[in-house]
């Protein structure tokens, strides 16, 4: 069953198609025969109980510099859409929050992904504080004495806005840096929100460990795929003929070790995701009908 999918996102002409997950989702939805519309958050309107958007039909293709085509602007009643994807980038400001309130008028009759109420309830820098073992020592505060005490304990710290995005406004403060006071004055003059302060050394170690884990997973998966004949070369020491057969019984001891290690990394990843309430590798895709959509709670990775 073909679906009508409206994508609320940033200007599509600015995205990098090599890394943008919204583009990948649009490409896959189009491949499955679903119709796409594109609109910006500022194009969203609520009037007389209806949620409308000044939207344009969208087609996409994996061609750098020529990756999309937009049709003429049309007024679309979003309640007539099957799915609305909330894909605009932060900052998580009042414009972002207002959009969730507006879209809540049509959800779940029209499936809004993610649930607008849950998007409001889970700003990323606050949500993660429920999982302290998955994050570095962190302070969220406005009080200067609390920030000074945290710095005295952890020495090397990172200071950043609580609802920032894209690495903007992130400062590394070393133990002998004298700019912390001026920095906090700047933050408080710009916003009434607390700042987030984190242990820099601990955070860098976690980030490095994550990057290394990602690298290991990619290397191991390539080895495993080759061993099972998905690539079909003899890099791992057995014949191309056997590789093409994809016979897992012909795996060497090293290849079997690679499989076990890859599965262990995936299990660890799955355990962390389960604690966060996320699905890993489910491949669920878009729901085929409104009745099925009402029964599922889709989480955006």
109 and 143 together in one domain: no
Q: Supply the pLDDT for residue 62.
A: 96
Q: Does residue 102 share a domain with residue 151?
A: no
What's the CATH code of the domain at 46? 3.40.50.20
What's the mean per-residue pLDDT of the chain?
79
pLDDT, residue 169, reads: 85
150 and 88 in one domain?
A: no
How far is Cα 258 from Cα 112, in angstroms, rounded to an integer?
40
Residue 81 zone, left/alpha/beta (φ > 0; ψ -120 to 50; rest): beta
Would residue 56 count as lying in a domain? yes
CATH number at residue 176: 3.30.1490.20
Q: What is the pLDDT of residue 229?
A: 46
Q: Alpha helices of 156-298 — where are they, by DSSP H?
A: 180-190, 200-227, 240-245, 253-276, 290-294
Residues 11 and 111 in one domain: yes
Whole-number Å distance between alpha carbons of 90 and 33: 29
In a domain, 154, yes or no: yes
pLDDT higher at 164 or 234: 164
Point out the domain boundary residue: 199, 214, 242. Answer: 199
Total structural domains in the chain?
A: 2
Q: Is residue 41 located within the same domain as residue 113?
A: yes
Say yes or no: 115 and 153 in one domain.
no
Of 78, 94, 122, the position where a domain reaches its end is: 122
The answer to whether position 290 is within a domain reads: no
Tell me which of 106 and 188 has the higher pLDDT.
106
Q: Tell me: do 152 and 113 sit in the same domain.
A: no
Reply yes or no on whether the pLDDT at 122 is more than 80: yes
Could you tell me if 76 and 182 lie in one domain? no
| DSSP string for residues in 124-187 | HHHHGGG-GGGS--EEEE--HHHHHHHHHHHSSEEEEETT--TTTT-EEE-TT-S-HHHHHHHH
pLDDT at residue number 125 = 87
When pLDDT is cut at 50, 70 and 90, the band that residue 128 belongs to is confident
Confidence of residue 285 (pLDDT cuts 50, 70, 90): very low
Domain termination site, one of 74, 93, 122: 122
Does any domain span residue 146?
yes
Domain that holds residue 181: 139-199
Tell whether 109 is covered by a domain. Answer: yes
Q: Would you say residue 252 lies in a domain?
A: no
pLDDT at 282: 33
DSSP state of 289: S
């Amino acid at each position: 069953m073909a679906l009508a999918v409206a994508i609320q996102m940033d200007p599509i002409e600015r995205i990098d198609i090599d890394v943008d997950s919204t583009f990948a989702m649009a490409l896959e939805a189009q491949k499955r025969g679903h119709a796409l519309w594109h609109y910006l958050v500022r194009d969203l309107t609520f009037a007389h109980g209806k949620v409308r958007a000044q939207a344009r039909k969208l087609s996409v293709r994996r061609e750098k510099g020529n990756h999309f085509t937009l049709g003429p602007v049309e007024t679309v009643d979003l309640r007539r859409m099957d799915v609305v994807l909330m894909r605009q980038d932060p900052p998580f400001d009042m414009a972002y929050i207002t959009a969730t309130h507006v879209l809540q008028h049509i959800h779940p009759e029209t499936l809004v992904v993610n649930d607008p109420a849950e998007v409001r309830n889970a700003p990323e820098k606050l949500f993660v504080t429920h999982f302290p073992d998955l994050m570095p020592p962190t302070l969220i505060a406005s009080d200067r004495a609390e920030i000074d005490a945290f710095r005295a304990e952890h020495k090397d710290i990172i200071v950043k806005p609580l609802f920032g995005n894209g690495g903007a406004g992130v400062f590394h403060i070393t133990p002998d840096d004298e700019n912390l006071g001026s920095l906090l004055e700047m933050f408080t003059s710009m916003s009434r929100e607390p700042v987030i302060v984190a242990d820099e050394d601990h955070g860098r170690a976690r980030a490095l460990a994550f990057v290394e884990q990602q690298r290991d997973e990619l290397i191991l998966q390539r080895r495993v795929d080759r061993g099972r004949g998905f690539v079909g070369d003899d890099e791992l020491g057995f014949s191309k003929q056997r590789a093409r057969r994809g016979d897992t019984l012909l795996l060497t001891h090293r290849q079997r070790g690679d499989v076990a290690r890859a599965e262990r990394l995936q299990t660890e990843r799955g355990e962390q995701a389960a604690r966060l309430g996320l699905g890993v590798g489910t491949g669920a895709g878009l729901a085929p009908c409104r009745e099925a959509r009402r029964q599922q709670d889709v989480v955006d990775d």
